[in-house]
Amino acid sequence: MHKNEIIIKDSYITLGQLLKLTNLFDSGGFIKMYINNEGVFVNDQLEHRRGRKLYENDVIKLKSGETFIVKSG
């Protein structure tokens, strides 16, 4: 499975910030609604907190199948 890499410059990024970088969502409000209603899998665990801190090598998977991995740059 192909994983899209999200490069971060700090030690972590929040789930909401990461989803904004994917360009899959129209707005931050839509991201908030999506996380609250659908949830996102972080390392195979369902997460509903958009402030969840993500670190290098964390794997994020949306219910639609898109998968992202956090890498530090």
Delineate the domains of the chain, giving CATH numbers in brackets.
4-72 (3.10.290.10)
Q: How far apart (Å, rounded) are the C-alpha atoms in residues 25 and 44?
A: 21
> CA-based Rg of the chain, rounded to a whole angstrom?
11
Q: What is the pLDDT of residues 11-35, one digit of tens each?
A: 999 999 999 999 999 999 999 999 9
User: Contact, 71 vs 11, CB < 8 A?
Assistant: no
Please indicate whether residue 1 or residue 16 has the higher confidence score (pLDDT): 16
Nearest CA-CA partner of 40 in 56, 16, 23: 16
The torsion angle over the Cα atoms of residues 36, 41, 44 and 48, rounded to 10 degrees, is -20
